[in-house]
Amino acid sequence: MTIFRSKLNFFIVIIFLTSCSSMNVTEENVYSEDIKTVKASSQSQTTENISFDSMAVFANATIYFEFDKSSLTSKSIQTLKSAVNALKDNQSIKITLAGHADERGTREYNLALGQRRAEAVSDYFVLNGINKNRITVKSYGEEKPVAYGQDEMSFAKNRRVEIN
Amino acid sequence: MKKILLMIFFSNFILSELVLEITQGTEDPFRAAVIKFDGEYEITTNVDQIIKNNLTRTGEFTILDNDDLLSIPNNESEIIFNDFKILNIDYLIIGNIANDYSNIKAEYQVFDIKKGSKVRSSTVFGIPNKNRQLAHYISDGIYEEITGIKGIASTKILYVTQNKEYRLVVADADGKNEQVLLESSEPIISPSWSPDSKKVAYVSFETGMAKVFIQDIASGNRELVIENSSQISSPAWSPDGKFLSLTMYQDGNAEIYILNLINKNLTRLTNHYAIDTESSWSTKGSKIMFTSGRSGSPQLYEINLRKSNAKPKRITFDGNYNAKGSYLPNNEGIVFVHRADTNFQIALKYFDENFIRPLTESQMDESPSISPNGNVIVYSIKEGGMGLLSGVTLSGAKFKLPAKEGSVREPAWSGFLR
C-alpha cells in the first residue's frame, strides 16, 4: 500500500537545495530532557451515609444497556422501581450513579456514553419524585470493566450503571 | 542554528521499556551505510546502531550490514567511492564524537555515492551520558538531508500504561528511554501535548471523577484546569497554545467548550442533546473537529471558528463509527478511528477524495496520533486483551512497539523538539 502524496513537493525541495549549494552545513544543540515524576494521591472513597437496612436494597444494584445505547430496558425499570421505593422510604439516602461502557469504540466517546447511561437512570429517579440533590452522576467510560473477555457476554456485563 | 540551555538530568529508570519490531517496509528504499563513529568507546557506544534503527524504522531505508561493505572508512580521506557504488549504495554516513569541555561534540558527514560528493557536514552538541539523544539528532539530520522531510527520531511519544498502577509515560519515538510523568491508582486517559511540547494535558480520575489537569514536564507542577462539581475530559490544545478545547458535562451531557488559558473564560462550542466530544484543532487553529452521536451513530463533524455561529458540518459518511479525528499537519486530510462493519481500524481521508483509506487491519485499533512531520501514525491495538502500540507510515511501512509488561495505550506524539 503506497499512499505517499508529497512526492512533488519533495522533488522541489531537493532541487532547491542542490541549486543553492552543493553541501549543507549545520550546527545545533540538543535540548534539555528534564522530567519530573508526580504521584497522584487518590481521594479515599467517600463513604455514603447509608443505614444498614437500605444498604441491602442498594448493594450490587446494576442496570445494563445495549451497545451504544443509553435507553432503559423493561428489566432495568423493574430494578429501578424498587430502588425508587427504597429512596422514598429512606429520605436520608444519597446515591451515586456510575456509568460504564464496554471496550469497543473510543475512550472519550465511551466516557460520554457512560455519563448518558448514568443520566438516564438519574432522569428516571427524578421523574419518579426523587430530588436531584440526592443523586451524584459520573462515568468511568470503559476504564473499569468487571468482565475482561473480548466477547459479547463480557461486553454486555460492562455496559452498566452501578447504583451505590 | 539553535542555542538551548544545556542541563544535565538523571532520569528515572523503569523496567518496562518498549521493544521495537519492524513488520513491513516500503518497496523501494534508499540504500545506505552507516560507519561506526570514530571516538572513545563510552561516547560512541551504540550511536551508529541507534541511527541505523531510526532510519530503518522509517521504512524508507535499507541499511547495509557493515560486514557486507568492501571498505570501512574512518574519515573522509579513506572513502573509496567505488566500493560503495558496486554495492549500489545511495548514501554513506561517517562521523566522530569527542568530549568538548563539558559537552559532547558530534560531527557527521553524508556522502552521495552516485554523485561522488559530500552533501552534508553537521555538528551536534550533546549532553554527556545521552548518547541516545545525540544519535536521534544525527538520524534526523541525515533523514532530512536525504528525503527533504524533517525527521522525528528526536521527538517523544506520550502514552498511558496500566500494570498495577496507571502511569503517564514519555519515551523517545523509538519507545526507549521511558520516563514517568504521573503515577496514579486511578485511571488516566486522553494525554495530549502543548504545542511547544513543554506541558501535557490529561484526564485523571484521582479525585473520583474525570478531571483535566495540565502538567509542566520539567518541574512536575500541575493544575486542575477548571474546578467545578461535574466531570471534564478530552483536552486538546489550540496550535498557538492559548486555548484548550474540552468536553464538559455540567448540563448532564457531553458538550465541547473552549477554555482561554490566560483569562480562564469559557466559550461553549456545541449545543446538542447527543454526545459531542473528542475535539481537535486544525493546524492553523481555524477549525475544530469533533465526534458527535447526533446522526444516531458516532460521526465526525467540523466547526469553522472563523465564522460566527457556524453550524457543525458532518465530514464522515461511510461506516457506522467514525471517531477521534485529527488533522494531518498539512491540513490535507484527517486520520480517525473507523468502523465499516465490526472491526475498528485507523483510517485516513483526504479532503479532495470522496473515499476513506483504511490504514490498519486488526480488530480494535484506537487512538491514532500523527507524527509532527505527518509521515507516521502511532496507535494502540489489542492483542490477547493487552494494549500495545503500533505504527504505520503513510509510505506503507509498519512497526510495532510491544510492551515487555503491562498494557500500553493512548499514544500522543510530541511536536518537533529540535
Antiparallel, parallel or unpaired: β B287-292 and B299-304: antiparallel
For the cut 70, the answer to whether the pLDDT of residue A3 exceeds it is: no
Report yes or no: B296 at the A interface, CB cutoff 8 Å.
no
The answer to whether the CB of A34 falls within 8 A of the CB of B8 is no
- Please tell me which residue, A15 or B381, carries the higher pLDDT value: B381
H-helix segments, B253-381: none
B203-226 per-position pLDDT tens digit: 999 999 999 999 999 999 999 999
Residues of chain B contacting A111 with CB distance shorter than 8 Å: 189, 203, 210, 231, 233-234, 247, 254, 277
For the cut 80, the answer to whether the pLDDT of residue A109 exceeds it is: yes
Cβ burial B381-417 (10 Å sphere, 16+ → b, else e): bbeeeebbbbbbbbbbbbbbbbbeebbbbbbbbbbeb
Residues 184-223 of B with CB under 8 A from A: 184-187, 189-190, 203-210, 215, 217-220, 222
Q: Give the chain A residue nearest B253 (alpha carbons).
A: A116
The answer to whether the CB of A121 falls within 8 A of the CB of A163 is yes
Question: Of B154, B159, B155, which Cα lies nearest the Cα of B169?
Answer: B159
The answer to whether the CB of B165 falls within 8 A of the CB of B184 is yes
Measured CA to CA, the distance from residue B29 to residue B45 in angstroms comes to 27
B312-345 per-position pLDDT tens digit: 999 999 999 999 999 999 999 999 999 998 899 9
A31 to chain B, closest Cα gap in Å: 6
The answer to whether the CB of A30 falls within 8 A of the CB of B124 is yes
For the cut 80, the answer to whether the pLDDT of residue A48 exceeds it is: no
pLDDT of residue B230: 92
CA torsion through residues B357, B359, B365, B370, sign:
negative
Measured CA to CA, the distance from residue B160 to residue B412 in angstroms comes to 9
Question: Of A65, A63, A93, A95, which Cα lies nearest the Cα of A79?
Answer: A63
Give the 3-state secondary structure of B79-90: CCHHHHHCCCCC
Sequential DSSP letters for B75-133: SGGG--HHHHHTTT--EEEEEEEEEETTEEEEEEEEEETTTTEEEEEEEEEE-TT-HHH
- The predicted complex's ipTM stands at 0.90
pLDDT of residue A151: 92
pLDDT of residue A21: 53
Choosing among 3.20.20.70, 3.40.50.20, 3.40.190.10, 3.40.50.10070, the CATH entry for B28-147 is 3.40.50.10070
CB-based burial label for B203 (10 Å; 0-12, 13-18, 19+): buried
pLDDT of residue B398: 81
Residues of chain A contacting B394 with CB distance shorter than 8 Å: 3-5
- What does the domain layout of chain B look like in residue ranges? 28-147, 156-413
Mean pLDDT value across chain A: 82
Measured CA to CA, the distance from residue A110 to residue B222 in angstroms comes to 26
pLDDT of residue A59: 41
**What is the value of pTM for the model shown?**
0.89
Going by pLDDT thresholds of 50, 70 and 90, the confidence category of residue A16 is very low
CA B234 to chain centre: 18
Residue A115 three-state SS: helix
The answer to whether the CB of B169 falls within 8 A of the CB of B159 is yes
Measured CA to CA, the distance from residue B302 to residue B290 in angstroms comes to 6
The answer to whether the CB of B199 falls within 8 A of the CB of A38 is no
pLDDT of residue B406: 76
Spell out, as residue ranges, where chain B has pLDDT lower than 70: 1-26, 402-405
* The two domains B28-147 and B156-413 share their CATH topology (first three levels equal): no
Choosing among 3.40.120.10, 1.10.3720.10, 2.120.10.30, 3.40.50.10490, the CATH entry for B156-413 is 2.120.10.30
Taken in order of first residue, the domains within chain A and their CATH numbers are: 52-163 (3.30.1330.60)
For chain A, percent of residues with pLDDT exceeding 90: 59
For the cut 80, the answer to whether the pLDDT of residue A11 exceeds it is: no
Count CA atoms within 13 Å of residue B90 on its CB side: 14
- The torsion defined by the Cα of B181, B187, A153 and B320, in degrees rounded to 10, comes to -70
pLDDT of residue A6: 40
The 10 Å Cβ neighbour count of residue B1 is 7
Q: Which amino acid is at B225?
A: V
Look at A105 and B3 and tell me if their CB atoms are within 8 Å: no
Element of type H or E holding B263: none
pLDDT of residue A50: 43
Report yes or no: B100 at the A interface, CB cutoff 8 Å.
no
Look at A34 and B7 and tell me if their CB atoms are within 8 Å: yes
**Torsional class of B285: left (φ above 0), alpha (ψ -120 to 50), beta (otherwise):** left
For the cut 80, the answer to whether the pLDDT of residue A17 exceeds it is: no
Measured CA to CA, the distance from residue A24 to residue A9 in angstroms comes to 19
Task: Please enumerate in sequence order all residues whose Cβ is within 8 A of that of B349, keeping only pairs 6 or more positions apart, or say none.
Answer: B315, B316, B333, B334, B336, B355, B356, B357
Question: Of B289, B263, B302, which Cα lies nearest the Cα of B370?
Answer: B289
